[in-house]
Amino acid sequence: MSSHDTAVSDDALAVLFTDAHTARSFRDEPAPIEQVRRAYDNARWAPTALNSQPMRLDLLASPEARQRLAPLMAGMNQEPVLGAPLVLIVSADLALDQSMRELGASEQMLERLAGSLEMRQGLARDSALIQLGYLVLALRAEGLDVGVMTGADLPGIDAEFHADRPWQTIAVVCVGHGDADAFHPRAGRHDFDAVSQVL
């Protein structure tokens, strides 16, 4: 399949990047699971190292589930968790070699992963973080506002929600529709020339 010849519209870029802000508070409106499913179904096609696909999601749709999470968040992050209609715990599956087998990974690569915990952990975390970036954009494309947070007792979240599985929390994402006070003024960003060298 050839690459696309046309770029996305400026309006689409604004939804995904230039006009989008991190949401800190949310209107009392649902964030349908079906929208998250569609966002994931789109984001999953983006590349990861070795097609590892290690990102895992806990969807905290009930107030009771979000109340379990809130005490494990840093102080300033507790209110967004309690106020969002949906919260995602985003994790990396440290047993990703097992799921990679289902995706057609080579036996040679699976043997290397099975023999190295360090390699599994690095691959799982790096690719899950990449997938998280894709997911944020896909959620925005669905018309949802998001707030990504890492200020939390991440091992505590694992103990509370992942005691029975090898998932390692990397972030918490609040999802919904931002209210009037949801968005802080945008901080600066580096220009291309400040961060790049052409060799």
**Whole-number Å distance between alpha carbons of 26 and 24:** 7
Looking only at the bridges linking them, the beta strands covering 145-149 and 55-60 are unpaired
Q: Is residue 19 part of a domain?
A: no
Q: Are 79 and 148 in contact (CB under 8 A)?
A: no
pLDDT tens figures, 120-175: 999 999 999 999 999 999 999 999 999 999 999 999 999 999 999 999 999 999 99
Q: How many domains does the chain have?
A: 1
Q: Is residue 4 part of a domain?
A: no
**Whole-number Å distance between alpha carbons of 149 and 53:** 21
pLDDT tens figures, 11-63: 999 999 999 999 999 999 999 999 999 999 999 999 999 999 999 999 999 99
Q: Are 176 and 87 in contact (CB under 8 A)?
A: no
Q: Which domain covers residue 98, as residue numbers?
A: 31-63+86-177
Q: Is residue 146 part of a domain?
A: yes
Q: Is residue 55 part of a domain?
A: yes
